[in-house]
């Protein structure tokens, strides 16, 4: 983008595509029947003192246990879900091409995602967003949580007091990709078939395709810890949780719903606008105070988070 104007547009697009998050999945994060394959879900009560409430009508109307959060070799995406997903970024290739790409994906990465299911333990998760209101978080994340993720370009170095020191799952898409250590799960949120192709090539021959901004050719991460969010999960979050508001959910909100599906207790940090109503990242000095949430229904997402907190489904913490 050669001009200042284009650079500003790019910055706005990136910020509002991912205003987001990074999840400390100690994990803003499902669709397909799990009749025969259900590594993520339990019907047994968890071992926590208080688990996610199944007595709350508002919550149970939205929370669908049969939704599968991640792609696996045993999973088939419906053509209806594919058509919805295809329209998000005007993907031109067809369902057959998508299916072949997914088959190729599991030649490189684990056939099933690395998620344990156990009813004899209490799994607590901190979902950590990139919002500026993360600064001054009231609870030390490393002691608060036992099973954490990070999101997009979110970082910890220099911000340990607010975001903690360790990340177990880092949620990203190609345009927001960063290198990870060998113990952190790379959780890819794909918005188009090219994102799946990028994942394969970034770990093997190197990616050379074009996107709306530069994309890493190679990425450093543990390929055995790669997890790919099910495109139908995005549709489930959009249709059920967000009532079809916005074009599609933010990565941050999807991370939060994912946490509801795989964790027993969920705490949320770094979401929403700052105390002055500005949408920004905690690791940046805000220069453009007119930024909003682009294709995402940011205000509605925030309202849902507050409702989850009000109903005592999650614990929501602000830095102000």
Tokens of 76: 């088939």
248 is catalytic: yes
How far apart CA 318 and CA 239 sit, in angstroms, is 27
Q: Please check if 312 is assigned to a binding site.
A: no
Sign of the C-alpha dihedral computed for residues 180, 186, 192 and 194 taken in this order: positive
Q: Please check if 272 is assigned to a binding site.
A: yes
Q: Please check if 296 is assigned to a binding site.
A: yes
Q: Please check if 97 is assigned to a binding site.
A: no
Q: Please check if 104 is assigned to a binding site.
A: no
**From 236, 248, 282, 302, active-site residue:** 248
Q: Please check if 185 is assigned to a binding site.
A: no
* Bridge-based pairing state of the strands 150-151 and 185-188: unpaired
Q: Please check if 130 is assigned to a binding site.
A: yes
* DSSP helix/strand/coil, 246: coil
How far apart CA 132 and CA 320 sit, in angstroms, is 10
Measured torsion, CA atoms of residues 230, 66, 306, 81, in degrees rounded to the nearest 10: 40
How far apart CA 54 and CA 35 sit, in angstroms, is 20
**From 169, 282, 296, 302, active-site residue:** 296
Q: Please check if 261 is assigned to a binding site.
A: no
296 is catalytic: yes
Q: Please check if 246 is assigned to a binding site.
A: no
DSSP 68-125: --B--TT----HHHHHHHHTTTT--S-HHHHHHHHHHHHHHS-SS------SSS--EE
The annotated binding site for substrate is made up of: 89, 130, 152, 212, 248, 252, 272, 281, 296
The annotated binding site is made up of: 89, 130, 152, 212, 248, 252, 272, 281, 296
Task: Give the active site residues.
Answer: 248, 296
């Amino acid at each position: 983008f050669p001009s200042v104007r284009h650079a500003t547009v790019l910055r706005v697009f990136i910020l509002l595509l991912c205003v987001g998050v990074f999840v400390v999945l100690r994990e803003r994060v499902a669709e397909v029947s799990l009749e025969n394959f259900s590594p993520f879900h339990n019907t047994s009560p968890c071992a926590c003192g208080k688990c996610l409430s199944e007595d709350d009508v508002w919550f149970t109307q939205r929370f669908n246990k049969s939704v599968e959060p991640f792609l696996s070799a045993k999973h088939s995406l419906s053509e209806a879900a594919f058509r919805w997903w295809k329209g998000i970024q005007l993907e031109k290739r067809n369902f057959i091409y998508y299916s072949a790409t997914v088959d190729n994906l599991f030649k490189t990465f684990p056939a099933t995602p690395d998620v344990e299911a156990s009813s004899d333990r209490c799994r607590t998760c901190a979902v950590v967003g990139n919002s500026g209101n993360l600064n001054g978080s009231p609870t030390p994340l490393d002691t608060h949580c036992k099973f954490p993720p990070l999101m997009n370009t979110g970082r910890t170095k220099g911000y340990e007091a607010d975001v903690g020191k360790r990340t177990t799952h880092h949620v990203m898409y190609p345009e927001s990709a960063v290198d990870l250590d060998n113990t952190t799960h790379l959780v890819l949120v794909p918005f188009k078939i090219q994102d799946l192709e990028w994942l394969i090539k970034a770990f093997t021959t190197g990616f050379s395709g074009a996107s709306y901004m530069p994309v890493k050719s190679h990425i450093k991460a543990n390929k055995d810890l790669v997890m790919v969010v099910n495109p139908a999960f995005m549709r489930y979050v959009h249709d059920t949780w967000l009532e079809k508001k916005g074009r599609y959910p933010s990565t941050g909100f999807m991370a939060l719903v994912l946490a509801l599906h795989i964790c027993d207790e969920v705490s949320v940090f770094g979401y929403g606008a700052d105390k002055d109503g500005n949408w920004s990242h905690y690791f940046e000095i805000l220069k453009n105070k007119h930024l909003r949430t682009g294709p995402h229904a940011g205000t509605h997402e925030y309202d849902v988070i507050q409702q989850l907190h009000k109903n005592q489904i999650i614990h929501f913490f602000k830095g102000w």
